[in-house]
């Protein structure tokens, strides 16, 4: 439902989100901030930040979706568990599954699968993330596969969150990209944030840039058509790897959002999804203090695309192991 109102002459200038908290008492400040970031709350028809200061005469337009009842149920969705103890669960997320419930995805998510897993096993799950994001210290995009850590206690959650913040989490990703980077190794240092014109995308064209750094290594070339790269994010911004590779002129295969139609098919090869995989995750165990590291190879759909690229173009260049680069990494979602 869309509502519109004017700021009256007697209103004192203040942050938009703070003003709205006093007006929309049934909606939390964090929820209002998300709606502002998504462009569903605008000032004078302009997308703004939650910190924007309103003033008398401003016209605020609000397009707030009708709330859906949130009662997240466990669902018997298979999980590939790599490790589990009283503090943590490490899993290999398959491509195509949304991590947590949100409008349009209230069921069939990884959280639904986790709730079922713990309900049947008798385990616990951290509550710090709230009802929608229990146990989640970090996320992966829907189409990204790979290793994730889930916290089972609040103490474990706080300990892992601190490691992410201190940049001591080791993360290695691998991707198939369109074309071949000129340099076999490099560092992409490009501040990014929510795109100022398209609120569903992230880019350097933003009013709130955040420092973002990614190291990359080209490990295999398929003629001039595509390449396999290892990625070492030193920060963890939303869509960071996708945006950074696009900034090089080499978007990830299957990433229509940032690469357009050209990355969806090569010759007779159709690309089924974004070809991005979270290969390795390393951290200090919050209970034992031992350094742990978990690695899973890319799934069968990515393997198939690589085999077809090799058949059509032939690989060139040497293949490197992930240990050829030593990066301490952190991040929220890539």
Which residues are designated catalytic? 141
- Distance, CA of 180 to CA of 151 (rounded, Å): 38
Integer angstrom CA distances of residue 152 from 75, 217, 278:
18, 34, 21
Burial of 246 per CB tally in 10 Å (0-12, 13-18, 19+): buried
Structure tokens at 155: 């103490």
Dihedral (Cα; 261, 266, 270, 274), 10-degree rounding? -60
Strand partners, 159: none
Structure tokens at 255: 């990433």
Closest among 333, 145, 166 to 237, alpha carbons compared: 333
- Chain center to CA of 222: 27
Secondary structure of residue 29 in the 3-state scheme: helix
Q: Are 137 and 161 in contact (CB under 8 A)?
A: yes
């Amino acid at each position: 439902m869309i509502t519109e109102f004017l700021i009256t002459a007697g209103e004192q200038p203040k942050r938009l989100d703070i003003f709205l908290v006093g007006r929309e008492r049934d909606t939390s400040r964090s929820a209002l901030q998300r709606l502002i970031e998504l462009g569903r709350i605008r000032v004078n028809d302009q997308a703004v930040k939650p910190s924007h200061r309103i003033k008398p005469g401003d016209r605020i337009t609000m397009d707030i979706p009708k709330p859906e009842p949130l009662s997240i149920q466990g669902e018997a969705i298979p999980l590939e568990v790599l490790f589990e103890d009283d503090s943590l669960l490490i899993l290999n997320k398959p491509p195509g599954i949304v991590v947590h419930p949100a409008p349009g995805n209230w069921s069939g998510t990884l959280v639904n699968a986790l709730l079922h897993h713990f309900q049947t096993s008798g385990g616990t799950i951290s509550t710090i993330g709230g009802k929608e994001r229990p146990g989640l210290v970090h996320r992966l995009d829907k189409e990204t596969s790979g290793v994730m850590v889930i916290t089972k206690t609040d103490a474990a959650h706080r300990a892992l969150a601190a490691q992410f913040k201190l940049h001591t989490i080791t993360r290695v990703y691998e991707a198939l990209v369109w074309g071949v980077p000129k340099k076999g190794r490099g560092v992409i240092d490009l501040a990014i944030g929510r795109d100022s014109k398209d609120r569903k995308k992230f880019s350097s064209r933003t009013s709130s840039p955040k420092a973002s750094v990614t190291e990359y290594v080209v490990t295999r070339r398929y003629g001039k058509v595509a390449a396999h790269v290892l990625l070492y994010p030193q920060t963890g911004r939303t869509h960071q790897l996708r945006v950074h590779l696009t900034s090089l002129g080499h978007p990830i295969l299957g990433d229509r959002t940032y690469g357009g139609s050209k990355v969806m098919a090569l010759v007779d090869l159709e690309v089924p999804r974004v070809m991005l995989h979270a290969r390795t995750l390393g951290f200090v165990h919050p209970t034992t203090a031992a350094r742990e590291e978990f690695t899973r190879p890319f799934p069968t759909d990515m393997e198939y695309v690589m085999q077809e690229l090799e058949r059509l173009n032939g690989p060139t260049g040497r293949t490197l192991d992930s240990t050829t680069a030593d990066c301490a990494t952190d991040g929220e979602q890539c």
